[in-house]
Amino acid sequence: MQDSDVVTVSVDTSAEIELIMVEADVGSRIDVALARRLPELSRARVQALLRDGHILHNDGRTIESHGVRVKLGDGFTVRIPPAAAPEPEAENIPLVVLFEDKHLIVIDKPKGLVVHPAPGHATGTLVNALIQHCGDSLSGIGGVRRPGIVHRLDKDTTGIMVVAKTDAAHHGLAEQFASHGVDGRLERGYLAIVWGILEPASGRIEAAIGRRAHNRTKMAVVHNDSGRHAATKYDVVARMAPKGLPATSLVRCRLETGRTHQVRVHMAHMGHPLLGDPTYGAGFAASVRKLGPDAQEAVLSLGRQALHAALLAFEHPVTGKAMRFESPLPADLAQIFAHLKAGR
């Protein structure tokens, strides 16, 4: 039996590992102790193995509860079945890959790409594309050979996303996104083109976000217990206010939390909704017709909100290396910005 502190194991093929609990494990829950000793497995994956009867005590008992506390000298056999095939099918969808190793992949998502299969979007998603792109390098997220989605972008929001390829990376990235950068490891930045001139030019919006009572698909700033804490820092990058034309601003937003539609809702709450936003900026439709002819045409043909995930920084969940990625405005938003700035 192995009694070393940490055991490295490949989880994309079947394996059987024997472990003896050492002094550092005494008193820990079995899922916590095994996840520490087997860093390629997340605690959720260990709990799934327990539920499925894949962890045995050395006295022959099958351990099914993650609440069991380990004792010095306890021995366990962990049986890891091969990762199951993914339910979504692989699809040959082009991706812009900014970085990739055996643990994770960073992509620059185009507009119109749904992140995960859902009713109405069973195919043609980022998950389908990643299953095709990554192939056998995906190793069992939760026992299934699939990409590990730890954050999402709206279908029509462009920009940088990181996706886990292994269970260990999924666990580490999910933990960072859950803490929303409080410990300094994670940073998420967006560029948005909004109506009007923000005053002051930099600030912090702190307003709880929840679902609207009469439209559950739409989010809003709420002032009751149904809302979740949300905070956004912003800085105005450029003001566009040509004489006689509606004023607009290019704004950089940094997320302190990660709520659904957070940037869109907070900007609309401040009276500065995003250009092209059909959900939170519908009241500014008349303003589009007052723009210069080139800007007006570009906004009307945009077909989405003017929002781009321009910055993503995080700590590599396996190597610990600081990772930082930036993406410029995509062509459609860059064109609108140029027209607005020139007043044409």
The catalytic site residues sit at 154
Local structure of 31: helix, strand or coil: helix
* Rounded-to-integer distance, Cα 33 and Cα 70, Å: 8
Identity (one letter) of the amino acid at 310? Answer: A
Residue-by-residue DSSP string for 90-108: P------EEEE-SSEEEEE
Closest by CA to 333, choosing from 311, 312, 303, is 303
Which pair of tokens denotes residue 234? Answer: 């912003």
The β-bridge relationship of strands 307-315 and 158-164 is: parallel
Closest by CA to 147, choosing from 82, 80, 81, 87, is 87
Beta bridge partners of 309: 159, 190
Q: What's the Cα-to-Cα distance from 69 to each of 23, 46, 47, 79, 144, rounded to whole Å?
A: 13, 14, 14, 19, 28
What lies within 8 Å, CB to CB, of 260 at 6+ separation is 209, 219
* Rounded-to-integer distance, Cα 263 and Cα 255, Å: 8
Closest by CA to 270, choosing from 330, 205, 325, 315, is 205
- Beta-strand runs (E) in 179-230: 187-195, 202-206, 209-212, 215-221
Q: What's the Cα-to-Cα distance from 337 to each of 80, 90, 239, rounded to whole Å?
A: 53, 36, 10
What lies within 8 Å, CB to CB, of 325 at 6+ separation is 98, 99, 106, 160, 311, 312, 313
